[in-house]
């Protein structure tokens, strides 16, 4: 894995906002997110369910429904504004430049086409190969992700494969056109622990082999640490802390990050009660004034409810948005 370079980043997100208009209320899903990612780097986005992680990820490919989602800010990929792309350019961008591993591959694959047909279709669309060459590429990718009996699995339908095999096939599909950026949306959530480890090791090997940048969304701190160069912690649609994986885990500076780390079972003596963050995340249609975490924070004061705290630079790229830093 390589550290962020001083050159122009591969991905630059500036003041990203996402609003979902349900007709009855407006949900403020993402609220001013900014992040950068260098070539070959891995960024882990960590947070509870509903913190805006997956919505942020889907914005990078503009997968949100245009009629309901209002997106603001800028998303630059290799200097090009993704939000300004027309439909034709966007179709080229998806799959070729940026690819995504979805949380549930059974829903991502079309159930009426074989795995091989779906991978080959992607290759033909983006690289213009004929049917035979595209099928050979599909077989090569299934072998690369170490699916046993790859030639036979090429003609299997999604429902004929186990969850772990489907997830490997999803990775093969995402990497079939050798994208520069891979988006992984909690790709190991539905898998058992042994298969999770296998998938994570596979992703690390393929990233090193292909030189991709990766954004990995998870609510599992262990997964974030094992896969990421840097970590961004999200709460209520904002990044509240970011830095190298080492800095964020060893010296958390935001109370929310500290609370997440305290709730882990790893390293806790047997029989001890795990820490827990009191309360629940805010309703994103009615986010409180000031710091959104203040109602759950043990060290919050009256001033925390007055304005959203700005990010404070703690050195070495480590930042936290908290008045108590």
DSSP class per residue in 202-221: HHHHHHHHHT-EEEEEES-H
Q: Which pLDDT does position 263 carry in this prediction?
A: 82
**CATH of 11-97+180-267+275-320 given 3.40.50.300, 3.60.20.10, 3.40.50.20, 3.90.730.10:** 3.40.50.300
What's the confidence (pLDDT) of residue 266?
67
Give, in degrees to the nearest 5, the angle at Cα 126 between 122 and 128. Answer: 100
Cα distance between residue 242 and residue 56, in whole Å:
15
Segment 57-71, tens digit of pLDDT: 999 999 999 889 999
Average pLDDT over residues 12-38: 94
Average pLDDT over residues 173-187: 91
Q: What percent of the chain has pLDDT over 90?
A: 70
- In residues, how long is the chain? 325
Whole-angstrom distance, CA of residue 262 vs CA of residue 299: 15
Confidence of residue 51 (pLDDT cuts 50, 70, 90): very high
Task: Provide the pLDDT confidence category of residue 190 given band limits of 50, 70 and 90.
Answer: low
φ, ψ of residue 63 in degrees (nearest 5): -95, 0
Q: What is the pLDDT of residue 264?
A: 76
Output the pLDDT for position 184.
92
Q: How far apart, in whole angstroms, are the C-alpha atoms of residue 101 and residue 85?
A: 22
Q: Which pLDDT does position 267 carry in this prediction?
A: 62
List pLDDT tens digits, range 116-171.
Answer: 999 999 999 999 999 999 999 999 999 988 899 999 999 999 999 988 889 889 99
Task: Give the start-to-end residue ranges of the domains of the chain.
Answer: 11-97+180-267+275-320, 106-178
- Kindly tell me if the per-residue pLDDT of 276 is higher than 90: no
Contacts of 160 (CB under 8 A, 6+ apart): none
pLDDT at 268 over 80: no
Q: Which residue has the tokens 């309703």?
A: 283
Instruction: Compute the mean pLDDT over every residue in the chain, rounded to the nearest whole number.
Output: 90
Q: Considering the entire predicted model, what is its pTM?
A: 0.89
């Amino acid at each position: 894995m390589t550290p962020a370079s001083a050159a122009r980043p591969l991905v630059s997100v500036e003041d990203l906002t996402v609003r979902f208009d349900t007709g009855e209320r407006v949900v403020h899903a993402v609220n001013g997110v900014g992040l950068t990612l260098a070539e070959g780097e891995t960024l882990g986005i960590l947070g509870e369910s509903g913190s805006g992680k997956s919505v942020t990820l889907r914005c990078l490919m503009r997968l949100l429904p245009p009629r309901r989602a209002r997106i603001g800010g800028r998303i630059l990929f290799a200097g090009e504004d993704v939000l300004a792309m027309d439909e034709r350019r966007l179709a080229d961008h998806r799959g070729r430049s940026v690819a995504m591993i979805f949380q549930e591959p059974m829903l991502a694959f079309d159930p009426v086409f074989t795995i091989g047909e779906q991978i080959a279709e992607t290759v033909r669309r983006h690289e213009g190969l004929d049917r035979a060459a595209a099928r050979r590429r599909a077989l090569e990718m299934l072998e690369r992700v170490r699916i046993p009996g790859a030639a036979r699995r090429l003609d299997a339908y999604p429902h004929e494969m186990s969850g772990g095999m489907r997830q490997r096939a999803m990775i093969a599909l995402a990497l079939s056109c050798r994208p520069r950026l891979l988006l992984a949306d909690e790709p190991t959530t539905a898998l058992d622990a042994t298969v999770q480890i296998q998938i994570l090791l596979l992703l690390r090997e393929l990233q090193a082999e292909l030189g991709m940048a990766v954004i990995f969304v998870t609510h599992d701190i262990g997964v974030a640490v094992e896969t990421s160069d840097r970590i961004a912690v999200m709460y209520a649609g904002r990044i509240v802390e970011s830095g190298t994986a080492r800095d964020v885990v060893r010296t958390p500076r935001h109370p929310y990050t500290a609370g997440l780390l305290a709730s882990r079972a790893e390293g806790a003596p047997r029989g001890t009660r795990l820490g827990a963050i009191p309360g629940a995340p805010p309703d994103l249609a009615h986010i409180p004034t000031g710091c959104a975490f203040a109602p759950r924070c043990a060290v919050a004061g009256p001033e925390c409810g007055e304005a959203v705290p700005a990010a404070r630079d703690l050195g070495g790229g480590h930042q936290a948005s908290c008045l108590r830093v």
